[in-house]
Amino acid sequence: MVGEPSGVFMSFMYYAALSMEALGVAVICVGVVATTGLFLYRSWVHRSTDHFYHTYRRGMGKAILLGLELLVAGDIILTATHNFNLQHVALLGLLVLIRTFLSFSLEIELNGHLPWRRPREDQENGNFV
């Protein structure tokens, strides 16, 4: 029929969605391993964990956020091309809602402020307030 996606297109979109999801999982796993390895190395060399802990948490949070973005992108592709019914759209909406909440929470935890409230620079000594 005219306007209906062909089998080749559907297969390509299916594998594209799976690739996005696999990439998202890989980003999270590699990010966790890399930031943990870097943290342990720096802590061992400098014999202190206090100085590097904030950097470790920040790197871990960034890896999780990027991985979540890729996972949601894969879910959007799969839902839009294969499972376009009310149940799957509702599930996608729930996943996006959870991802948004996690992203929002991680942003506050990592930066110490709401995403739309950037710290102001103190005019006297150049420090952020």
Question: pLDDT tens across 61-103, in order?
Answer: 889 889 988 988 998 888 888 877 888 888 888 888 888 888 7
User: For residues 3 and 87, what is the distance between their CA atoms, to the nearest angstrom?
Assistant: 24
What is the pLDDT confidence band of residue 126, given thresholds at 50, 70 and 90? Answer: low
Amino acid at 118: R
Residue 48, phi then psi, degrees to nearest 5 = -150, 135
* DSSP tally for the chain: helices H, then strands E: 3, 0
User: How do residues 32-57 score in pLDDT, each as one tens digit?
Assistant: 999 999 999 998 998 888 878 888 98
CA-based end-to-end distance of the chain? 62
Give 40 or 3, the one with higher predicted confidence: 40
Examine the pLDDT at 123 and tell me if it is beyond 50.
no
Domain boundaries along the sequence of the chain: 7-111
Backbone angles phi, psi at 36, to 5 degrees: -65, -45
Amino acid 125: pLDDT: 53
13 CA to centre of own chain: 21
pLDDT for res 2: 44
